Copies of this chain bind each other. A is one copy, B any other.
Amino acid sequence: MAKTSKEKSKTYHHGDLKQALVDGAVRRVEQNGVKGFSLRAVAGEVNVSSGAPYHHFRDAQALLTAVAERGFRQLNMALNTASEAAGTYPDKLAGIGTAYVLFALEKPQLFALMRQPEYWTGPDAGALQEARAATYGALASVVDGCLPEETETARKDACMAAWSFVEGLALLATDGRLQTLSPDEAPEDIARRLVGCFSPHSFSKGDQQ
């Protein structure tokens, strides 16, 4: 029997503590960031002793890894939706890039956690790595679809360049540097505009300089 979060802890066993911990951790990270997260606080929030989480997660980092994994799943859904919504490949590219930056803007703290390499190394990061690979795959396939026939390395370079650009945009957007461009414009609109300027063709020819 599942318990709602409000009702007092009557049962010695929680029932679904693992999921409750991830839920609480996600909420705390989204509100206060990784720095404002503590395993004890999350445990207290679900009326459980400070040692209880260790029956479900090897340590605090493992719980945060689960949080990041959930973040990647949400991100992948957003990217797929945006990609399928567009008809032509250039539109897909603009759409998926914009969706990436918008996700970062909507959940900046969660996105910052997802960017930390320490959570996708480690022994409990298998599912996370899978979700991360899917994210890159989604973007790469769209970029690849925009490219003319080229050498293998040129295609790969273009994918990586697009990845870099979008990741950089998301980074600048989340910590407000994008807004220094035009303070009156909404950061979402700036992001849309800059993503739209990107053309993978300019990266697929190495001698363009």
Contact = CB atoms under 8 A, between A and B. Distances in A.
B117 A160 contact: no
A202 B175 CA distance: 25
A87 interface: no
Contacts of A94: 209
Categorize the interface residue count of chain A: 35 or more
A199 interface: yes
Interface string A102-130: 00000000000001011000000000000
Q: Is the interface of A mostly helix, strand, loop or mixed?
A: helix
A203 interface: yes
Interface in A141-159: 153, 156-157
A48 to B, nearest CB: 26
Contacts of A115: 171
**Copies of this chain assembled into the complex:** 2
Contact of A90 (B90, B156, B209): B209
Contacts of A198: 161, 202-203, 209
Most chain B Cβ neighbours within 10 Å, of A90, A168, A201: A168
Interface stretch (A6-14, A17-25, A37-45, A176-184): A176-184
Contacts of A153: 182
Given A196-B206, A199-B208, A202-B202, A167 B172 contact: yes
